[in-house]
Structure 1
Amino acid sequence: MAELAFGIIGNVIEKLGFVAYQEFCLAWGFKSDLEKLQHTMSIIKVVLLDAEKKQASDPLLRLWIGQLNDVLYDAEDVLEEIEYQALRKQVVATYGSTSTKVRHFFSSSITRAFPFKLAHKIKGIRERLDAINAEKDQFKLMTIIHGDAHVMHPLRDIDSISFVQPSTVIGRGKDQKKIINLLMHPDGNKNVNVISIVGLGGLGKTALAKLVYNDEQVVRLFQLRMWVCVSEDFSVTRLIKEILKSACGTIDPNWNVDALQTKLRDVLRDTKFLLVLDDVWNDDHNKWIGLRDLLIGGCKGSKIIVTTRSNSVASAMETDSTYSLEGLSQEDCLSLFVKCALKEGEENQHPNLLKIGKEIVEKCKGVPLAVRTLGSLLYSKVDEHEWEFVRDNEIWKLKQKERDILPALQLSYDQMPIHLKRCFSFCSIFPKDYIFYSDTLIHMWMAHGLLLETSLNKKQKLKDVGDLYINELLSRSFFQDVDKLLPCFPLYTFKMHDLIHDLAISVAQGECSVVDLGNKDISGTIRHLLFSVEDLSQEVPKCLDKLTKVRTVRFTAELPVPLVEACIFRFKYLRLLDLSESSFEVLPSSIGTLKHLRNLDLSNNNRIKLLPNSIVKLHKLQTLVLLGCSELERLPKDIRNMIGLQRLSVTTKYTCLLENGSLNSLQFLDVIGCSRLEVLFHEIDSQCLTNLRTLMIGGCESLTSLSLNIKHLTALEFILISDCPSLNLMGGGEDNQDLKLSLQTLLIEGSLMLEVLPQWLQRSANTLQYLHIVGCENITALPEWLPILKSLHTLVIQYCPKLSSLPEGTHHLTALRKLEIRGCPKLSRKCKREDQSKVAHVREIELDDDTRSTSTEEEDDQLPCHEFRMHA
């Protein structure tokens, strides 16, 4: 908890220094009080790192830290109230107000009631903080300047740490062969056999199952292969849906249970299938029977692989063959450790490190997760003292169970910089085996102020800092199973191992909680809530009554409107509200009272038609997600009042996204599945998107114009346009010869109107790195000015049959490293013959029916745009 307090107190001190000199505080006489608060917090801050080290053995110190956390959160809330009023005044000053109530509010309420209430809150916080400061002396805490508390682990490229081919898994070759042998021999008495892989957490059961699942023999053996992550929720209905998604890609959301069961039987009937049920915890035989009866219609020789930690689970699943997975040998563990800890070629340069590493590996007891985590902790560190610190750490002396790896994970966590610890602990709010999307998690971190504004350069934004944090957690093996959705853009999914998730829960310590109707024992200090019960009734859980300071509410199931209203009414300090997958028609107008709210997710609600006008009062809102809201008629008229909005992701049935208004703070705009949309904007301020960095548009078949003036989009770095057959990309800055743009990536898919590339692309001659053109059937030629794109390193052209040659001067694209041409027979033939000299300098060339490359690196992760465009 001390590391959480250290991060919070740093944020509060910074805010105090800024807020104290705001016009409101000077006018209301708060400056002196806020400066005193800042001074007291600075005194406390310097002992917090020592408190972190001592808290494990001192219950009173942990209690003191908990009280400090509570005061700091309250201080943060008060400061944000001041910030909100400043934003409110800014909105009225900029856009005016047609509401006499608003004008009256600023002429009376702010000048009388609000300052009085605020002064009372500040006084209370000062008194509590003074008492906490006085109590700290009893713990004899030493002053420790934070020093390297924010130093990042040496970063590796995300491709090198995460996207590991199954063949690189160490020490499981024999296990793989034995499992495949079990798959090859059917039981004569059954159509479907169950094989259970049983082993302790962290041994690599899932990794082994993936090796088997992707083995060429197995692929040839089964007509259909399906993979479902089960985890602790063995809901038969949910599993049917997941199995069908794995088998068919998508399912009809309107299917009831009977329709789902019928569809599953149809899919499996007379089919030899392999189904992997990964990470099963259910040992209730009756639940398994409910699912089993739907799976027995496959052809003889069909198999189900179950991975589980428990033999009782294997028994309940009527296992025909149980494979007990053992730990890795010391030799294999050392190989894995060296692979994670040392750069290639370094293993022979540091014999003493190898000796210490061998002793560290022995403490890991053959568990690959422990080996990988500690190896990643020491990556690129060649100081023997740092390796000895890990080997000789006191944490190994704590009493532990057989093959307990939590000490190894805790040790790796302890060595993380404080800002990463806060981001990691926040992940405990998600259920086990949750699939994270990188951009979604980053915007959640942003909502809670967890990203440090320590940019590497002036152009770097908080989103970039978030990408660095995820990269760092990946490099430390705290995230795994990474799937990169786009090679040229930092958008990817990943998961958290169960044991890592357990660690996140343990370090969150009262910050996060899962709520169900029967949960009566819940701490009043809880800040992050997850509602996970599938059949929430209309009754509001009684346990919510004592909660007043919640900052996050997420739902993982269908939710009743009374519960949503109760959360909005009770939790006035919400920063994040996730109502995705809901189906209510009306969002309560009380949403406008959540003045601290920064992240609102309403995605995949296919019934909501309008948002209440009160939503535009959310001046601090940074992220608004409305993807999949297919019945949404329009966005609020005064959305320009949401001056803090940085990310907008929307689906609407209206013909125009915005009729008027300015979105000066917007950096990320996703417009997906808007079948009736004709133009993005009407009468829009020509400079309203000057901070826009990413623009994604997909599935908008009626869209004819972006109605954007390119000359104002100087910050735009990434454009994705997919399945917009009527869209014309011409215009907007064509004639401005002095225009300089920052575009780095352009991906165009399925644009039938595209005959030539737009002229304004020349304005990114020094920045464009990735150009992807696919399914543009009417494009006849690439422009002669293409060779001026001096930074272009990847050119992908797919299914553009009218293209027949590359422009003259293509050899001047000296940065070009990869050229991929598929579905363009004329162009491919030309590149093999007459145009061969134009591309002789390119290191990797992929043509129709031909691949020439000097690189051994696999590039199969080059996905078509439609694979990722519907991401919410």
Structure 2
Amino acid sequence: MIIGPSNRAYHLKGLCEEDCWALFRKRAFPDQLEEENHPNLVVVGKELVKKCRGLPLAAKVLGGLMRFKKEETDWLHVQNSDLWNLRHYRHGVFPALLVSYLHFPAHLKHCFVFCSIFPKNQEFERKTIIHMWMAHGFILSDGESKVLEDIGNEYFNELLWMSVFEEIKECEGGPVRGYKTNETFYNLARFMGGKELLVLEQGLGQNSVRQVRHASVLPEYSYRPPLIPEALCLSKHLRTLLVFSEGGLPTAPSHIFSSFVYLRVLKLSGCHTELPASVVELSLLRYLDLSNSHFHSLPSGISSLCSLQVLNLHGCYNLKVLPPLSRITGLRHLEISGCEALTEIPYGIRNLVYLQTLPIYIVPKNLPQFRVKDLRFKNLQLNIQTDSQLIEKIELGSLYELQHLDLRGGLKIKHLEHVRDVEEAKAANLIRANAARFQEKASLPGPAGPSDPEDPEACASASDPHFASETMASLEPHKNLKNLFVVGMCGSSHSWTSLLKSLHMEGMSKITFIGEEFYGDDVTVISFPSLQELFMGDFASLREWSSPDGKETFPKFSKLNLRNCQNLVSFPSFMPLKHLELHNCNSAILTCMEELSQLKTLVIDRFPELISIPENLLRDKPHLECLKISSCPKLQSLFPEFSGLNSLRSLTIRWCEELQMLPQGFQNLTGLESLEISDCHSLITLSEKVIGHLRSLQTLSIENCSSLTSISIGSQHLTSLEYLAIMYCPSLAAFPDNPEHLSALKSLAIISCPLIEFLPDGIKNAIALRSLEIHSCPRMTELPEWLGNFAALRTLAISDCQNLKTLPIAIRRLSQLQHLSIQDCPRLQARCQEDRGEDWWKISHVPYRYIATTNLD
């Protein structure tokens, strides 16, 4: 069922049996020959499809499951399961999911249930979940040469094929950004996990924790640290603790980690001060995530965590030194990218023979001692960077020693522009770098910035393109190479580029023109036949990029990212281009885009001189789905008409300080689902004529618009709006008027709007509301009694509303309310204190409560 305009309900019919079979067959028999060779399985499969009752998810899940079963008896076992006749779930998708789960291989069941430790709809990376599975021993060795990470990747792909996981992309057809667990499968996983799984949002309530083995703790809202309740110490068999924090060190008793003696996985990212010392007592810990933390050092006791397999310190930019790691002999992944203050390679690192991830920055004092072959690693992803003036102290020919490594993820070597001998480059010959594993990416960077014109030897490649071309050709990588990063090295196309799918070129500050030489001399050969993505950055002198005459180029090209090309005024019209990002480029380049009719994504970022958007920029862009305009400080007007953009789903406008109004043509964006406006300090009003007709709009976010005084969302058109956030708008004196028809609204946030005094009566009709946040509204003195109309409300958070004194009696009627937080509201906090506050009886039924303590003078 879906709800349409005027609250009219539409009951959707299931798929016809033929369409349902098509979905099932696509998953169960990806190879047509396989279907033809197993006619008996086809017969059983069509009977299974009947049990799906036209539900697409059921057909996809069952098809994905049966793909891995080749015996007819296995198919019949699924068909004849008693679970299809569950009385309470007979007509839903649950039986199909439950049957599928019970027929998962044993190793997948553990992996599947564990995924529900993440909050619902939480995005995660593939490698993160695989590393956590490894830490718990869910991934079983096959006794062959495969490493556990590869086996875990196969597990992940099986669950992805069965629709357990969903890909998250910036837009349709774009690259995969991450994954999340399908919501229906998530509910099943939580059901199967029972009392062993716990997801906390401020407070334990009445939950028993003694049986909990896997717990995650969430902050109520991103700007406040989460609270790790001391009662969690009763979970003596806790194996996993994930703390999701963006606002500082989690609040917890100092000794709490010493209670978790069986802990295998600990995520404590975002620490603002220092790591709790009790962490070093976790002798069984295998996965430790301290990424994006602010501490300067780690406790020396980290060296005693001998079971550790993964240590994630990504983004710890204050971290100056690592403790000795030689005792952690099983360490497989040491992530220190973004640790800019680190001054040396950790002592004893060469003893970690199982290491697979290690970004290395070679500092001057380590240069004389550094030899690649001494590392003795296998399956390593290696990232070598050095000071640009000292590259000559490492013989490039020693890269021949990479044959001693089993390069797994990739290779990055910086400052190759200082190579002065082509023969030395030939000696490196990256094709010898254990090619069986060298399958992903390589990077051959030079300087990050322009060369010194006073130093004639500073960049041989910049002054001699022929020398650069010879050097590049001499570094011929293996044929399996798919991604290449080139920084600071100019030169022409090479024969070994034909298989590249991704090319990254950066720091070629001397180049002024890209022409025929870039595409190769032979007009009969297609240039870059496999290339899909191209990044070009820091081409400070580049003015023109031309197309070759009579030569086919980039037949599979779909994504172009130009960054810091301030003088570039033209580039070829790559007809198949679907994704285009322009960062800190010349405004004139926007006139080259009229022929890009296949565009799906367009990003315009950091155009400091752009005053207006060219009228023809978005003409004939019927496939455009995502448009982002940001950091254009002089931009005063957008294109007046938005007609023809029927596919546009997402529009973001940020940091356009001179933009005063949005054009009335906005009303033509009838397919728009997400609109985000932030840091537009000259924007005064959003009228109904502008946004009131966006009938498909689901998300509206308005943030940090200091001059905004009024918002009119219309009286009847925004019937699809589910998420509304108004934040940091100090001049906004009233909540948007005419909100009576926000029947689909699920989340409402009003943050730091100091002039707003009350919620308008029209909001009371938002009966689907599940989350309400009110923060930093000092003039708000009361909440209305009709708050009790929000029968679906699950989360209510109030903070920094100094004049709010009491809660309405109607809050007692909110039977679905699960989470209540009151902070920085001294009078209200005093009335809500447990067992003694005057308003305690109104909120005592809420399972998870966080009422900050306060001292009133």
SS of the residue aligned with 2:234? coil
Would you say 1:646 and 2:332 are equivalent positions? Answer: yes
- Aligned pairs for 1:54-133 within 5 A: none
1:432, 1:496 within 8 Å by CA — same for their partners in 2? yes
Change (3 A) 1:340 1:426: same
Which residue in 1 is equivalent to 2:295?
608
Unpaired segments ≥5 residues, structure 1: 1-197, 200-310, 865-872
- Aligned pairs for 1:513-528 within 5 A: 513-515=198-200, 516-528=202-214
SS of the residue aligned with 2:326? helix
- The structure 2 residue matched to 1:567, chosen from 256, 261, 278, is 256
Would you say 1:417 and 2:105 are equivalent positions? Answer: yes
C-alpha separation in 1, matches of 2:78 and 2:342 = 61
- Aligned pairs for 1:469-488 within 5 A: 469-483=155-169
Which residue in 1 is equivalent to 2:568?
none
C-alpha separation in 1, matches of 2:103 and 2:376 = 41
Change (3 A) 1:595 1:761: farther
Q: CA deviation at 1:408?
A: 0.8
Which residue in 2 is equivalent to 1:634?
321
For each residue in 1:154-176, what CA deviation from the matched residue of structure 2 results, as whole angstroms up to 9, or x when unmatched?
xxxxxxxxxxxxxxxxxxxxxxx
Change (3 A) 1:771 1:405: closer
Which residue in 2 is equivalent to 1:128?
none
- Aligned pairs for 1:214-225 within 5 A: none
For each residue in 1:432-467, what CA deviation from the matched residue of structure 2 results, as whole angstroms up to 9, or x when unmatched?
111120111111111112211116x53x32111111
Would you say 1:745 and 2:444 are equivalent positions? Answer: no
1:694, 1:717 within 8 Å by CA — same for their partners in 2? yes
Q: Number of residues paired by the alignment?
A: 527
Higher helix share: 1
The one-letter code matched in structure 2 to 1:746 is K
- Aligned pairs for 1:375-414 within 5 A: 375-379=63-67, 385-401=73-89, 403-414=91-102
C-alpha separation in 2, matches of 1:573 and 1:703 = 49
Which residue in 2 is equivalent to 1:532?
218
Which residue in 2 is equivalent to 1:770?
482
SS of the residue aligned with 2:184? helix
Which residue in 1 is equivalent to 2:271?
582
Which residue in 1 is equivalent to 2:357?
669
- Aligned pairs for 1:304-703 within 5 A: 321=7, 324=10, 326-331=12-17, 332-343=19-30, 345=32, 356-379=44-67, 385-401=73-89, 403-454=91-142, 458=145, 460-483=146-169, 493-515=178-200, 516-534=202-220, 541-557=229-245, 563=252, 565-583=254-272, 585-605=273-293, 607-636=294-323, 638-650=324-336, 651-654=338-341, 656-658=343-345, 660-663=347-350, 664-665=352-353, 667-669=355-357, 671=359, 683-684=369-370, 686=372, 687-688=374-375, 690-695=377-382
Q: CA deviation at 1:425?
A: 1.6
SS of the residue aligned with 1:336? helix
Unpaired segments ≥5 residues, structure 2: 449-458, 462-467, 537-541, 559-570, 578-597, 605-857
Q: CA deviation at 1:610?
A: 1.1
Q: CA deviation at 1:510?
A: 3.5
Q: CA deviation at 1:411?
A: 1.0
Q: CA deviation at 1:392?
A: 2.2
Change (3 A) 1:348 1:522: same
Would you say 1:716 and 2:407 are equivalent positions? Answer: yes
The one-letter code matched in structure 1 to 2:183 is D
SS of the residue aligned with 1:494? strand
Which residue in 2 is equivalent to 1:780?
491
For each residue in 1:109-144, what CA deviation from the matched residue of structure 2 results, as whole angstroms up to 9, or x when unmatched?
xxxxxxxxxxxxxxxxxxxxxxxxxxxxxxxxxxxx
Change (3 A) 1:538 1:339: closer
For each residue in 1:45-86, what CA deviation from the matched residue of structure 2 results, as whole angstroms up to 9, or x when unmatched?
xxxxxxxxxxxxxxxxxxxxxxxxxxxxxxxxxxxxxxxxxx
C-alpha separation in 1, matches of 2:283 and 2:243 = 21
2:416, 2:489 within 8 Å by CA — same for their partners in 1? no
1:435, 1:494 within 8 Å by CA — same for their partners in 2? yes
Q: CA deviation at 1:368?
A: 1.9
2:255, 2:278 within 8 Å by CA — same for their partners in 1? no
Which residue in 1 is equivalent to 2:617?
none
1:434, 1:495 within 8 Å by CA — same for their partners in 2? yes
With CA pairs under 8 Å and 6+ residues apart, which has the higher RCO, 1 or 2? 1
C-alpha separation in 2, matches of 1:792 and 1:350 = 37
The one-letter code matched in structure 2 to 1:691 is K
Q: CA deviation at 1:702?
A: 8.0
C-alpha separation in 2, matches of 1:581 and 1:325 = 45
The one-letter code matched in structure 1 to 2:313 is L
Task: Select between 705-714 and 374-383 the one with higher mean Cα deviation.
Answer: 705-714
The one-letter code matched in structure 2 to 1:770 is K
C-alpha separation in 2, matches of 1:806 and 1:404 = 57
C-alpha separation in 2, matches of 1:598 and 1:795 = 34
C-alpha separation in 1, matches of 2:488 and 2:371 = 34
The one-letter code matched in structure 1 to 2:410 is I
1:788, 1:813 within 8 Å by CA — same for their partners in 2? no
1:609, 1:633 within 8 Å by CA — same for their partners in 2? yes
For each residue in 1:489-512, what CA deviation from the matched residue of structure 2 results, as whole angstroms up to 9, or x when unmatched?
9x8621111210122122223432
SS of the residue aligned with 1:480? strand
Higher strand share: 2
The one-letter code matched in structure 2 to 1:341 is A
C-alpha separation in 2, matches of 1:424 and 1:519 = 27
Change (3 A) 1:863 1:358: farther
C-alpha separation in 1, matches of 2:37 and 2:227 = 66
- Aligned pairs for 1:815-826 within 5 A: 817-818=530-531
C-alpha separation in 2, matches of 1:361 and 1:471 = 23
C-alpha separation in 1, matches of 2:45 and 2:174 = 36
C-alpha separation in 2, matches of 1:564 and 1:684 = 43
For each residue in 1:571-624, what CA deviation from the matched residue of structure 2 results, as whole angstroms up to 9, or x when unmatched?
1222111001332x111333322221111111122x311111111222221111
2:135, 2:309 within 8 Å by CA — same for their partners in 1? yes
The one-letter code matched in structure 2 to 1:769 is L
C-alpha separation in 1, matches of 2:75 and 2:97 = 15
1:602, 1:626 within 8 Å by CA — same for their partners in 2? yes
C-alpha separation in 2, matches of 1:813 and 1:740 = 28
C-alpha separation in 2, matches of 1:624 and 1:821 = 32
C-alpha separation in 1, matches of 2:443 and 2:280 = 38
C-alpha separation in 1, matches of 2:37 and 2:66 = 16
- The structure 2 residue matched to 1:848, chosen from 568, 572, 588, is 572
- Aligned pairs for 1:202-351 within 5 A: 321=7, 324=10, 326-331=12-17, 332-343=19-30, 345=32
Which residue in 1 is equivalent to 2:693?
none
Change (3 A) 1:659 1:461: closer
C-alpha separation in 1, matches of 2:193 and 2:408 = 36
SS of the residue aligned with 2:178? strand
C-alpha separation in 1, matches of 2:348 and 2:485 = 32
Q: CA deviation at 1:817?
A: 4.4
Q: Could you tell me the TM-score, scaled by structure 1's length?
A: 0.51
1:770, 1:792 within 8 Å by CA — same for their partners in 2? yes
2:287, 2:309 within 8 Å by CA — same for their partners in 1? yes
1:531, 1:555 within 8 Å by CA — same for their partners in 2? yes
C-alpha separation in 1, matches of 2:440 and 2:522 = 21
1:550, 1:573 within 8 Å by CA — same for their partners in 2? yes
1:648, 1:666 within 8 Å by CA — same for their partners in 2? no
Change (3 A) 1:390 1:480: same
Change (3 A) 1:744 1:359: closer
The one-letter code matched in structure 2 to 1:620 is S
Change (3 A) 1:401 1:472: closer
The one-letter code matched in structure 1 to 2:185 is I
Q: CA deviation at 1:396?
A: 0.9
